[in-house]
Chains A and B, each alone.
Chain A
Amino acid sequence: MLNHHDRLPEEQSNPGLIQELRATYRLRPEEQQALARVHERLAHGSQPLPPLDAVRIDDLARARQRVTPAGPPTPISQFRRRWLTRLGAYAAAMLVVVLVGSLALTFSLIHHTSVGSPPSHDMHLVLEPVKGSHPSRADMQAASEILSQRFSSFGLSLVSTNVLTTNGHLAIWVELPHFGGDEQQTIATLVQTGHLEFWGTGPGPVPLNTTFDPARYAQYNPGGRPRFTGRDLDPNALSVSQDQAGRPQIDFEMQGSSIDAFGSFTAHTIGEYLTITFDRKVIESAVIESAITGPAVITGDFTQQQANAVVADLKAGSLPVALTVVTG
């Protein structure tokens, strides 16, 4: 029943209409009885159903008479009953087979999981713009899409990336499966801005894994800008291979007009060092032995997984915003 607090002004001003409406919806007596019976059965679910009254039994008998004529069972009905019995037996056997099969599969999966294959449950990351930057939602959306491509290129399926607002700040929420190995380092590489830059560094090498300072090599790089960047690379030619010692290396090739430009640059700097940075961290610093007009390699100091992550970054492109992992 509706109480007074629950009544609407429209109900109070149209009492006649509401009364008629209730009457219209009111169930007919036989429907009410049927509903009451259903309620009763539900309330006493574990108890046997009450016996049918005489009238209903008569109705049932009449209805049966109409469907099948009375008398001894015919051969057809016996045949059908036998078939039904067989069908029941087959169904039971199938059920047992399915149950046993699924149990075996479950145990096998548990066993495999416990002997060292990577756990399959998901993890999530929250990525925020680095402090002091205020990217637009469009930039964050673009970054989210590039990240999605990177994870996919790295070989992870079922990764979802979404831009959301937390405490008034934009963030990217990433859900991905565990993939084993050095997950933290690999994820850190996959969410890097991903600027690959080629610098001339004169007669001396630059130590690997140090932060590159363009100001120190301004004389070899006009305007303090890199000679080439990741955009000059052909994404289809990027791959990870292994050198003769089995160490992972990144194969690359220039594209378009950069092929000739790189060939010309390397032809004029033979004997000098070419230093390659990834987000300004030195990943390669090697002497140029001849003009490079075709495929080349970055030997670096990568694990297989890191090399794959760098290639995934380069293929998908650099992010329009620098991100930092807030939770992972």
Chain B
Amino acid sequence: MLEADGPEQQALRQEERSQLRAALQKLPPVQQHILQLRYGDGLRCAEIALLLDKREEAVRKLLSRSILALRQVYQLNRQTEGESSC
């Protein structure tokens, strides 16, 4: 079932995205770049490997590390925000 977002949900989502963007900016440039290529440009690992002149396996590892790092920073940001708002 499709439901239109209410104003509160939209505001909440905006907030989450801005936190995610802030988390992204805290990552090292190489991790930011590879996430942009993967999820912004929708490239496959093999294509990224070709573009960055790396082996596909190396790209997969770098991507995995970048996702884990992003999740960590993102969660940490949210916790800090939650604590400061209490």
Contact = CB atoms under 8 A, between A and B. Distances in A.
Interface of A: 1-3, 6, 8-11, 14, 17-18, 20-25
Interface residues of B, number: 21
A6 B17 contact: no
B42 A1 contact: yes
A8 B38 CA distance: 11
B64 interface: yes
A2 B41 CA distance: 11
B79 interface: no
Nearest to A25: B40
B27 to A, nearest CB: 12
Interface string B36-47: 100110101110
Contacts of A8: 45, 60, 63-64, 67
A22 B39 contact: yes
Majority SS at the chain A contact face: helix
A244 B60 CA distance: 76
Contact of B20 (A2, A11, A14, A24): A24
A22 B70 CA distance: 13
Contacts of A17: 67, 70-71, 74
Contacts of B17: 20, 23-24
A9 B64 contact: yes
Interface string B1-31: 0000000000000001100110010000000
B68 interface: yes
A5 to B, nearest CB: 9
B60 to A, nearest CB: 6
Contact of A20 (B16, B44, B64): B16
20 contacts: A6-B44, A8-B60, A8-B64, A8-B67, A9-B64, A10-B63, A10-B64, A14-B67, A17-B67, A17-B74, A18-B39, A18-B67, A21-B35, A22-B39, A23-B17, A24-B17, A24-B20, A24-B21, A25-B39, A25-B40
